Structure 1
Amino acid sequence: VQSLFKSHPKGCLIIVSNSMDSSRGMRVLRPFSDKGFRVTAISPDFNYLFKNTVAEAWFDRLRKGNVDPGEISLGQNLSNLLRLALLYKFGGVYIDTDVIVLKSFSKLRNAIGAQTIDAKTGNWTRLNNAVMIFDKGHPLLYKFIEEFALTFNGNKWGFNGPYLVSRVVLKVKGRPGFDFNVLPPMAFYPVDWRRIGGLFEGATNEDHLKWLRGKLWQIRSQSLAVHLWNRESRMVKVEEGSIISHIMSDCCVFCNSSVSTL
C-alpha cells in the first residue's frame, strides 16, 4: 500500500476484502487516511459484479452445487474471476497484494504483463494476471470472463488465472477490436518465482554484492513493479542490505529512514 501511494500520491485505492472491510481493517488503514491518502476497503458483492456477464450463470450454478469447486482453493479461483469482473465493470488498475509498485502507471492503458518470454524469439510464453490495467468494458476482459465460465477447472493450479489470460490472448491476437499491450517481464515480473528468494538476501561476498547492485539498478531503471510471488516468499526473512530492503526503503511514506547504499 505504501508503495502504491509513493508513486501515486493522488490515487484512489479500493481494497476488495472481507477481512479488511472491518473495524480492524479501518484501524490498519487509518494512518493512510490521516496522511491524506484516499483508501478504503469493501467486501465484494459477487451478485452485483457478475450481473449481466457470463459469470452470472456460472456463479449461480456454483451456489446450487452444480459446479465442482475442485481441489484448489475456491477463494483463489473466485479472486481470479473477481479481478476480471471489477475491471470490466469499472475499469482501472488491478494489483495483487504481493506486488510492490515502483513507478507511476498513469501512462499505461489496456495492458497486461508477460511473465516469461522465449529467449530465442523474444515472444512471450506466459502472461500473468497479478497486474492488469484496462478500460471499463474492454472486450478482452469479456473474453477472459467468458473463458473462466466456460472452461473452469478447480483442480489445476493457475488454470483459471495466469494460464487463462495466456490462452485467451493467444486466441484473440491480431483480431480487430482487441487493442491492448503486452508488457515485457521486466515491467512487473523482473524475477522468476523460483529465484525470488535472491531479492531478500544480503551480500555474502564481493561478487554477490556486485550482482545485488546490478540487479537493483536494473529493477529501479526498468521495472514498474515487482511481484513478490507470495507463495514462495511469504516466510522468507528480509535481510539487511538486500534488494527488497532497498526497495522497501524507496517506497516508505511514513518514515525518513534510509538503508545503507549497496
Structure 2
Amino acid sequence: MLSLLFSLPTSFFALLLLLLLSYNAFTVFSVHVPKNRKPLLLPSPPTLSNLSSPHNPPPFNDTHFPLLPNTTQSFSLSAKSRRVRKHKRGLRSLRSEPNSPFSLFRARLKAFFDNSSCKLRFFMTWISPLKEFGERELVSVESLFKSHPEACLIIVSKSLDSHLGTQILKPFVSNGFKVMAIAPDFGYIFKDTHAEAWFNRLKEGNVNPGEVSLGQNLSNLLRLALLYKFGGAYIDADVMVLKSFSKLRNTIGAQNFDATTGKWSRLNNAVLIFDKRHPLLFKFIEEFALTFDGNKWGHNGPYLISRVVARVSGRPGFNFTVLPPSAFYPVDWRGIRGLFIDQVRSKWLVTKMDQIRKESFAVHLWNRHSRKLRVVKGSIVDSIISSCCIFCNT
C-alpha cells in the first residue's frame, strides 16, 4: 500500500487536500434549517395593552430566522414580561368579589356600622401579605384606640380578611374595641366616581401599571374613594396616633414647610380627615384617573394631593385646613432614623420630643425608610410606644 501511494503523482495529493478543505468549510459555515419548522416564540410584550391590533405588528417576520438571537433584547422583553405578570398577580390578589349587583362588602360594612356606636370612623388599607402585618402595625392600631376608644376601625385588606387575620385582631375585639378587616370590592367602592372608569380600563389591560407597585397605587386611590363614600379619617399602618382627631375636620397635613415663603411646599396623604362626598376628595379622584402615571413614585399619592390643593386653594366651595408638618410629620423621611436612637445623646432629640408632645396629633414613621431600624430603649419611638400601648403587659 505504501509503495502504491508513493507511486501516485503529487498532483493527486494536492487535489485530495483541496477536497478535504472544501468539505470542512462547508460543514463549518453552513446552517441547517429544518423543514416545516414552527414559528419563533417571543416573550410576552412589556405592557398590558392588546398588541394584536394592526397598529402593532409582531417584532419579527416569520420568514426571518436569526442565526444568533439578540440576547439583550430577549432579556429586556423577559424582564418586562415578568413585571407585567407581577402586576397581574397583584391585581388578582387585590380583587375580592366578582361583578355582582349584590356587594358583600357593602352588606358587611353596613352591618358593622349599624351594630357599632362610632364616635369617629377610621380606615386603613393593607395590601401586603398577612405575614408582613407585624408588631409595628399592631402598635399603630393600639395607638389609635388608646386615643379613640369609641372609634371604629375598618382595615380594607384581602389578606387580613381571613381566619388568621381574625386571630391577629381578636385581642382588640375581645377587649371591646370595634375593628374589622374586610376585603375590598373595588367595583362598589369606585362606583359613580372617576375611579370606576379608570379601574375598568385597568382590568381590561388598557392602563399601563408602570414600574411602581400596582398595590401601592391602588391604595392611594382606595383611601380617597373610601373617604369620599363614607367620610372619616384615613391613616397609614405606620402612623402612631398620639391625640384625638375629634376636633379635626376636612384636614390634610403638610410634609414640608418653606421657611422663606411661610407656606407649605409639599403635602402628604398618610393622614386624611374628610366629610363624606367632600368636593376636594372628588377632585383628588378625578386627578388620579386623568393623570395616572405608574412609573413615578409619589405621582399618584403625595404629589397628587399637593398638585390639586395648589390649584383649588382660595376657590369657593373647597373648605379645608392644611396643618403644619408638626401635626402628623414632625420629622420627614430623611430624619426618621433619629427617632429610633437614644434621645439622651442629643439636645435636638429632646427638643423634638417636647415639640411632638405639644404639637403632634400623630407621627408618621415612614416605614419604607425605617422598617429595618431597631427601637432603642430611651428613644422617641420607644417613648411613643410606651405611651400609646394598650396591651403593654401581654
Compute the RMSD of aligned alpha carbons: 1.1
Identify the match of residue 41 of structure 1 among 166, 174, 181.
Answer: 181
The match for 2:389 is 252
1:12-23 equivalences in 2 (<5 Å): 12-23=152-163
Residues 38-70 of structure 1, C-alpha deviations (whole Å, 9 max, x = no match)? 111011110001111111111000000000000
Structure 1's consecutive aligned runs of 4 or more residues displaced over 6 angstroms after TM superposition are: none
Q: For residue 349 of structure 2, what is the amino acid of its counterpart? A: L
Moved more, 19-28 or 151-160: 19-28
* CA distance 1:203–1:219, change in 2 (3 Å): closer
1:197-212 equivalences in 2 (<5 Å): 197-203=337-343, 205=345, 208=346, 210-212=347-349
Identify the match of residue 354 of structure 2 among 217, 238, 255.
Answer: 217
Give the CA deviation at 1:211: 3.1
Residues 2-44 of structure 1, C-alpha deviations (whole Å, 9 max, x = no match)? 0000000111011111111111111111101111111110111
Residues 108-158 of structure 1, C-alpha deviations (whole Å, 9 max, x = no match)? 000000000101121000000000000000000000000000000000000
Q: For residue 4 of structure 1, what is the amino acid of its counterpart? A: L
Identity of aligned residues (%): 70
Give the CA deviation at 1:203: 4.5
Q: Does 1:71 align with 2:218?
A: no
Q: Does 1:112 align with 2:252?
A: yes
Q: For residue 2 of structure 1, what is the amino acid of its counterpart? A: E
Instruction: State the alpha-carbon separation in 2 of the partners of residues 203 and 243 from structure 1.
Output: 6
Q: For residue 241 of structure 1, what is the amino acid of its counterpart? A: G
Provide the secondary structure at the position in 1 that maps to 2:335: helix
Q: Does 1:134 align with 2:274?
A: yes
Instruction: State the alpha-carbon separation in 2 of the partners of residues 137 and 176 from structure 1.
Output: 16
Instruction: State the alpha-carbon separation in 1 of the partners of residues 230 and 260 from structure 2.
Output: 38
Give the CA deviation at 1:255: 2.1
**Unmatched 5+ residue regions in structure 1?**
258-262
**Unmatched 5+ residue regions in structure 2?**
1-140
The match for 1:260 is none
The match for 2:83 is none
Instruction: State the alpha-carbon separation in 2 of the partners of residues 221 and 17 from structure 1.
Output: 34
Give the CA deviation at 1:256: 5.6
1:1-262 equivalences in 2 (<5 Å): 1-203=141-343, 205=345, 208=346, 210-255=347-392
Q: For residue 136 of structure 1, what is the amino acid of its counterpart? A: K
Q: Is the 8 A contact 2:343 2:380 kept in 1?
A: no
Residues 202-261 of structure 1, C-alpha deviations (whole Å, 9 max, x = no match)? 1474xx2x333222111111100000001000000001110100000000111269xxxx
Which of the pair has more CA radius of gyration? 2
Larger RCO, structures 1/2 (Cα 8 Å, 6+ apart): 1
Provide the secondary structure at the position in 1 that maps to 2:212: coil
Instruction: State the alpha-carbon separation in 1 of the partners of residues 344 and 289 from structure 2.
Output: 49
Residues 159-210 of structure 1, C-alpha deviations (whole Å, 9 max, x = no match)? 00000000000111111000000010000000010110100001474xx2x3
Provide the secondary structure at the position in 2 that maps to 1:32: helix
Q: For residue 243 of structure 1, what is the amino acid of its counterpart? A: I
Q: For residue 186 of structure 2, what is the amino acid of its counterpart? A: F
Provide the secondary structure at the position in 2 that maps to 1:194: coil
